[in-house]
Amino acid sequence: MKTPTTRSAGTEVQVEKEEERLATVRADYDRIADAYAARLAKELDSKPLDRELLLRFAAAVGQRGVVCDLGCGPGHVACFLCEAGATVFGVDLSPRMLDEARRLNPSIPFYEANMLALNLADGTLAGVAAFYSIVNLSPASLPAAFGEMARVLIPGGLLLLAFHVGDEVVCPRELWGRPVEMEFFFHRPAAIEQLLREAGLGIEEVIEREPYGPEVEHQSRRAYIFARKPGAA
């Protein structure tokens, strides 16, 4: 039996706020899932650096084990990694987004999961690809998310993280003509590097780029971090 955990009133409020935030994120992605898939399932075709980094990630992981596409959306990153030779599955918070992923990629397994409390055993993954999966997480949630990524990696396991660079919080009221309430958080690479180190991961490389054209993506600077769990590679 687990020992009961005592939380302060402030901690209880923070946990409740984060749970409410995630419920909003799930509901919004459920609402826009089909439109998201229709517009973004092929986005890697127009993003050469993203493809290059994913190929490097797949090659580095090799045949060491299974890879998770974390926050997989319609499964386009999982599909790319699969075609690059990785053994991959995807997880997402949104059931309807998972429906789109399964429809578009019937040979790849997809599961519902919360990245703040992954239902995976310790040390089970050779790699985690987290492409913009932290975009809807508040800064307060990031230590838990990175702790989970580190926990599920095997020693020597590799994380490839992609995110929007900046300090702003973007709050669109609609996406593709449908109402949404979720927030989109941008982050500074140095702050993310520090949080990854605190989670027990070693930083191997940080890459930044300017946005591709407005017909391809939102006009924000992007960052990519390769980070590895210490241990035998």
Helix axes 189-198, 142-152, angle to 10 degrees: 50
pLDDT of residue 15: 57
3 pLDDT higher than 50? no
Cα–Cα distance between 182 and 35 in angstroms, integer?
16
Q: How many helices (H) and strands (E) does the chain have?
A: 6, 11
Amino acid of residue 168: E
Task: State mean pLDDT over 180-208.
Answer: 96
Verdict on whether the full-model pTM lies above 0.85: yes
* Structural domains of the chain in order of their starting residue, each with its CATH number: 9-228 (3.40.50.150)
144 pLDDT higher than 90? yes
Confidence of residue 4 (pLDDT cuts 50, 70, 90): very low
pLDDT of residue 55: 97
Confidence of residue 11 (pLDDT cuts 50, 70, 90): very low
Helix axes 76-83, 48-61, angle to 10 degrees: 60
Over residues 96-137, the pLDDT tens digits come to: 999 999 999 999 999 999 999 999 999 999 999 999 999 999
Cα–Cα distance between 233 and 221 in angstroms, integer?
31
Pair 229, 201: CB distance under 8 Å: yes
Cα–Cα distance between 166 and 185 in angstroms, integer?
8
Helix axes 95-104, 9-40, angle to 10 degrees: 30
Cα–Cα distance between 77 and 130 in angstroms, integer?
9
Q: What is the mean pLDDT of the chain?
A: 91
